[in-house]
Chain A
Amino acid sequence: MENLIEITFLIIGIYLFLGVLFTIILMWNGLEKLDPQTKGAGWFFKLLIFPGMTAFWVVFLRKWLKQKP
């Protein structure tokens, strides 16, 4: 039981760590291309969407990969 929980938390931790890295990269360069409505949105907006993006980063990765030629 303990091992199962530790492994689950480890997987979630790795997923979220990758999410943080991806989110930083996307916010640095690419977010405006993915969603033009984010153009000109300030740092507070980015801060607000940051936690959600670390959780749903795979959705944006898929969109990002589809967009690239």
Chain B
Amino acid sequence: MSANYTAILWNQQKKLYDRYMWLGIGLFMLVYAVFQLWLQPSITFETLIIRATALAAFVLLHLILAIGPLSRINPAFLPLLYNRRHAGVSMFILALIHGAFCIIQFHALSDTNPLISVFISNPKYLETSQFPFQTLGFLALMILFLMAATSHDFWLSNLSPAIWKVLHMGVYVAYALIVLHVATGAFQYENHPFNWILLFIGFWGISGLHVYAGFSERYKLNTHKNILAENGFYQVCRVNEIENTCAKTAFINGENIAIFKYDGKISAIHNVCKHQMGPLGEGRIVDGCITCPWHGYQYLPHNGQSPPPFTEKVKTYDVKILEGYVWVNPVPKEEGTFVEPVIIEKA
């Protein structure tokens, strides 16, 4: 949030997240290394590093890409989303080690500049079976570098959220390049059907999850199309349909609204977080503040303002309760405008 920057925003949960993540990565690579040494006792240390980091990075990339749609489908996955950025940087570090070892092992021994050698050592660009797959990996690594290098909130603020988001959507381009890198590279030499099956499951699994999450979200938004309107207010749901400290979301007249129930009151704010456009309505009220499920940005429910010293603001909306139903006026108030919360008992 916009107070002064710290190098890495760590809290108890994020430290725990990072600890388990790196423990998992370490264990995964250790098991893989033992397995490889058992299968190929003559394998060199460099080759082992190249393979272990490649596989660990690729698996981690699948998990990172799955977290987003999974947490949209089921909120139980939201804790994984909370620190996804650190997972992304960790994945880049693994990919960088893989890339650096590959360049040193395969391209640093000639007179040609090793980076240029990646692109010219194999000129068979028009062949499928012997395609210079290294180039695909190199380009993917460059995209991942730009993403990791701009992962701090400093970049979100200085590049603008819209540009930042577009830049970080590059992960899908990187993923496609990596899938092709694997298919035209390692799998040309180790083409056991099991490898191909795993690659297909991974690719179609990620694609399927995204499509399913997209459709289910669209369905959720469409459910609010036929609600009744009265004096500018639209009926959303029964009061008891909203869990305490949670929200019900509604998409009315182009406005994405989150209606929160807390301390016996109801308030409505814009459903989109100022940070990375996270779904505030999927968050909870923690310490009196609506807390974005993605990165923990917070807003006060009655005025949509981040608590001082932070300065983010979102739009607010008028709400009322009539005969046990929550009604909302989709005409937004200016960002950060105070709106008297509706007391449930008195309604």
Contact = CB atoms under 8 A, between A and B. Distances in A.
Interface of A: 1-2, 5-6, 9, 34-35, 37-42, 44-45, 47-49, 51-52, 55-56, 59-60, 63
A37 B159 CA distance: 14
B120 A2 contact: yes
B297 to A, nearest CB: 15
B4 A40 contact: yes
B128 interface: no
A41 B4 contact: yes
A47 to B, nearest CB: 8
B152 A49 contact: yes
B253 interface: no
B115 A48 contact: no
Nearest to B147: A52
Most buried by B among A44, A47, A56: A56
B23 to A, nearest CB: 23
A35 B159 CA distance: 12
A1 B123 contact: yes
B2 A9 contact: no
Contact of B159 (A2, A47, A48, A56): A56
Contacts of A42: 7
A45 B152 CA distance: 9
Contacts of B5: 37-38, 41, 45
B180 interface: no
B152 A48 contact: yes
Given A45-B7, A59-B159, 18 more contacts: A1-B123, A5-B120, A6-B116, A9-B113, A37-B2, A37-B154, A38-B5, A38-B154, A42-B7, A44-B8, A45-B152, A45-B154, A49-B152, A49-B154, A49-B155, A52-B146, A60-B158, A63-B158
Contact of B158 (A40, A51, A59): A59
A60 B119 CA distance: 31
12 contacts: A1-B120, A6-B116, A35-B158, A38-B4, A39-B4, A45-B5, A45-B152, A49-B149, A51-B145, A52-B149, A52-B152, A60-B158
Contact of B149 (A6, A9, A38, A55): A55
Contacts of B115: 9
Contacts of A9: 113, 115-116
Contacts, number: 63
A48 B7 contact: yes
B116 A51 contact: no
Query: 9 closest pairs, A vs B, by CB?
Result: A52-B149, A44-B7, A45-B7, A51-B149, A52-B150, A5-B119, A41-B5, A2-B120, A37-B4
A50 to B, nearest CB: 9
B4 A55 contact: no
Contact of B150 (A5, A37, A40, A56): A56
Interface in B136-193: 145-146, 149-150, 152, 154-155, 157-159
Contact of B6 (A35, A45, A49, A60): A45
A49 B126 CA distance: 39
B155 to A, nearest CB: 6
A1 B120 CA distance: 8
Contact of A35 (B3, B7, B8, B157): B157
